[in-house]
Amino acid sequence: MSVDRRRFLESCSALGLTGLFPGALYAHVNDASANASPAAQETPITVEHVAAAEEIAGLSFNAEERELIAEGLNEKLQQVEALREVDLPNAVVPSSTFDPRIGGATIPDDDTPMRWTPRPVERPASDEDLAFMTVGELAYLLSTQQVTSMELTELYLRRLREHDPVLKAVITYTEDRARRQAEQADAEIAAGNWRGPLHGIPWGAKDLLAVEGYQTTWGAAPYQDQTIDETAAVVQMLDDAGAVLIAKLTLGALAWGDVWYGGETKNPWNVEQGSSGSSAGPGSAVSAGCVGFAIGSETLGSIVSPSTRNGITGHRPTYGAVPRTGAMALSWTMDKLGPMARSAEDCALVFDAIRGADPGDPASVDMPFPYQQGFDVTELRIGYLPDAFEGDYDNAAADQATLTVLRDDLGLDLQPMVLPTDMPVDAILNTLDVEAAAAFDELTRTRGVDTMVRQGENTWPNVFRTARFVPAVEHVQMSRARTVLMQRVHEVMQDVDVFVSPSYRGGTLGITNLTGHPAMCVPNAFRPLEDAPDSPRREPDSITFVGALYQDHHAIALAQAYQGVTDFHRRRPPIQ
């Protein structure tokens, strides 16, 4: 039985595939010919299939060419079937490795260590005040034994259990592990062996990071009972720094949004609203004062978006700066792990502990981090995107106020600049869809995606299916166009060390996730709700500082300087 052109076109059109050559033609035809005659099964792809496919793709072949194409495709069917027999779990990386340096950047040759000294503070009278202290402040209290790690651990565990019925930010508590770590931290500190600023600090991990002995669910129903017999490199690095893991926090299923198999994670500033994603739990828990800091991940906004929604500070590091060994892969060429915390300085302290190359992640690199406490940001060349700040948009007034603070309070000379928004960024971003579809290929083919909570348009099940129809040739062209984009952004960055942008305007989020540039997302507004202006609930918003590749310390320094003259990062949510 053959599939005629009309039926083939109708089928592809129903799936939203018009304009793409169907890379999944093989599987489609195999299904259609399952009950065909033996002769037909020997050549399931016919010239009619090829003619239908070329029409969809906007190509034109003659009869002789179609015959040859059909013959070649039938031969490749067996190769595709053989490939699908290979066991390719999510942890298997592609043989090709993305490198941001392709665009022209180099890793600086600088062995200057981070310079930071804790500022003296006194233990506050209330547990509430203690819970909202920064990592730097808690580090001083711990190092001077004004508070113990066990006290902090129990405090944060109590707060999580108190607020999680509303926030839905926790997937798994790791309290037995945490108490062992806290006990060890207290003994070491009492003996004069203080490991550094994270020693004894309780934290939470986005549940795409494997922790031996605990479930790693990726927030998705098909994996809710999954255990992975390893501990992610980042978790191990934080163990080595003496930090105390108290919980594995929620993420939107397979790193999209704030809906996971247990519900929707909520925003503490307005619990009728989700906390955005996909680092939903980290954003919510940090905002609510339930952890000292958290580790999130970003592929296309998953640190920036929940940091914005929850009114906290997020650091998306340079691609490759933090190893992803033991983390769920969504897009091998775009995934980044980074800290989410109360201040830019907190992010610096965490980043210094988790950066570096790891053998399990071929894209990870060793890079310097010469962050200097109290750095004079007037030494930096600061750019901004004037077009992105124009017009009437939700956070326009706050963003303009931020520019005023940078100019008047910090004395910075902001230089106008333009990102290459004329490039087909949306087309290049199909890289994410294709890589994600490959990462969860078996889940799609076995219909495991049907058990995920979110279904329909703009969900992973639909994206995974649709991405199967993106041609391999076009996928390679995306990669090549990405190289051009990287080169052009590198040219722009020759004139600045950091640039300022609204978090969701100017093409910044998509472009810099493709190029791998580091970003600091900091709160700059807490607007009253339009429908309830007298309510304590608020709508947080943010501004983003983007640094040059491998120059994360500059973006962090600017963010820290901004927070030094504003108080947005000190505000606490009503959790109601």
Q: What is the bridge-based pairing of β-strands 270-274 and 259-260? A: unpaired
Q: CA-to-CA distance for 556 and 520, rounded, in angstroms?
A: 6
CB 22 within 8 A of CB 56: yes
Catalytic residue at 206? yes
Which tokens sit at 200?
Answer: 């004894």
Q: CA-to-CA distance for 332 and 432, rounded, in angstroms?
A: 9
Catalytic residue at 503? no
Residue 180 CB partners (closer than 8 Å, separation 6+): none
Q: CA-to-CA distance for 233 and 322, rounded, in angstroms?
A: 9
Q: How far is CA 280 from the centre of its chain?
A: 11
Residue 117 class from Cβ within 10 Å (0-12 exposed, 13-18 middle, 19+ buried)?
exposed
Catalytic residue at 76? no
Residue of 276, 302, 343, 501 with catalytic role: 302
Q: What is the bridge-based pairing of β-strands 414-416 and 382-384? A: parallel
**DSSP secondary structure of 101-128:** GGGS-------PPPB--PPP----SSHH
Which tokens sit at 261?
Answer: 């198999």
547-567 b/e (C-beta count within 10 Å ≥ 16 → b): bbbbbbbbbbbbbbbbbbebe
Residue of 33, 278, 307, 331 with catalytic role: 278
Q: CA-to-CA distance for 380 and 548, rounded, in angstroms?
A: 11
Residue of 168, 206, 248, 336 with catalytic role: 206
Nearest partner of 522 among 310, 225, 331, 208, judged by Cα: 310
CB 288 within 8 A of CB 167: yes
Residue 145 CB partners (closer than 8 Å, separation 6+): 189, 190
CB 304 within 8 A of CB 317: no
Residue 141 CB partners (closer than 8 Å, separation 6+): 121, 123, 133, 147
Nearest partner of 351 among 380, 376, 377, 321, judged by Cα: 321
Sign of the CA dihedral 158, 161, 163, 164?
positive
Token look-up 């049907």 returns 450
Where in the sequence numbering do the catalytic residues fall?
Answer: 206, 278, 302
